[in-house]
Amino acid sequence: MTESLEIMDARFMREALRQARKGLGRTSPNPAVGAVIVKDGVQISAGYHKKAGLPHAEIEALKRLGGKAPGCTIYITLEPCNHYGRTPPCTEAILASGINRVVVGMMDANPDVPGRGCQFLRDHGIEVKAGVLEEECRILNEVFVKFITTKKPFLIAKSAITLDGWTGTSTGQSKWITNEKSRQYVHRLRAQADAVLVGVGTVLADDPELTVRIKHSRERCPLRVILDTHLRTPLNARVLDRLTPSDTLIAVGTDVARDRLSQHEKAGSNLVVCPVKEGRIDLTALMDILAGRSITSILVEGGASIIGSMLRNGLIDKYYIFLAPKILGGGNGIPMAAGTGPESIDGCIGLKNLQIKRFGGDIMVVGYPSYR
């Protein structure tokens, strides 16, 4: 039985998505894009965007064919660009290649250029079909979509908890609630984010490095951001080790003593003074500061007060909750989110579009908060 065009388009778009995922975490502030070139129902080339400033996915796929693909169809997860940026327009390369059909997953989310690439191709006689596996393509680039449309970072919160809801003991000890497989997955999440954010409490309690540690990998390491209103981060904290591959930014309040600031500045600490709200770093203001530095995604790793504040302010876009098959028992541990919660169950924040995955005995729940 001959495969229908609709089924074939979906099949090759899935392959384009698979290609695009290879670039996740490496293309910021650009989207992750994949492309597949097909001739007579057979894939003959593929490519993906490897890094901002390098050739786009379409160009990578065409390069393997010497730039020529007469009579072919190209599948692209995101509308091809039609403007000069750090690279030339991909639409012109598609025209020059002889491709006569273009299948697009999603239109460009950039409000300055939506639809221009597809329209340019149509105006030059190319058949264009858009919206194939559009939802999957948008989820793949959810970070890019939010940043390009709102100029704010996409915030991903990660929590590791016991079955009775605790992230640590009464003494603050939390190593290790989850197993090694879960922790390795968190390192992959770090590698895909532009920044990882913790509070000074986590630095004082755990002295973490917050680097990416994946075996046999050269993943890039995200910027480490510490919320430290009163600049209590020790000068010898591992997160400030300049020999690690990650940079560190300490967000401090407006009333830190001058001598304390000078100590850190002389030691090479990268400080940014932020507005303070209710005695803590104003998180909304900090997000604007980080967005101005082209930080498009942030993995929030703690602690309870930060997670609680971000949830109450509707800042978290996506949640990864790791449930370990352990029961702390008692009522004096550290909760997942601190602060004042709702008086009614109806006031709970729901999670939608759930995904569930197991890592040995651990269960990971992924979802998007539904704020009222």
Give the residue numbers marked as catalytic: 58
How would you class 354 by CB atoms within 10 Å of its CB: exposed for 0-12, middle for 13-18, buried for 19 or more?
Answer: exposed
34/57 Cα distance (integer angstroms): 5
Residue type, 293: R
**12 CB-near residues (< 8 Å, 6+ apart):** 36, 38, 43, 73, 75, 103
54/27 Cα distance (integer angstroms): 9
- Long-range Cβ contact pairs of 324-327 (< 8 A, separation 24 or more): 324/160, 324/161, 324/162, 324/163, 324/177, 324/178, 324/179, 324/182, 324/361, 324/362, 325/163, 325/361, 325/362, 326/162, 326/163, 326/177, 327/162, 327/163, 327/164
3-class secondary-structure state, position 350: strand
Q: How many CB atoms lie within 10 A of CB 63?
A: 13
Helices (H) and strands (E) in the chain, counts: 11, 18
Place of tokens 């709102």: 150
216/371 Cα distance (integer angstroms): 40
How would you class 343 by CB atoms within 10 Å of its CB: exposed for 0-12, middle for 13-18, buried for 19 or more?
Answer: exposed
354/350 Cα distance (integer angstroms): 10
Place of tokens 């390069």: 63
Phi, psi of 272 (to 5 degrees): -135, 125
Phi, psi of 366 (to 5 degrees): -115, 135
201 and 168 in contact (C-beta within 8 Å)?
Answer: no
**277 CB-near residues (< 8 Å, 6+ apart):** 283, 285
Q: How many residues does the chain have?
A: 372
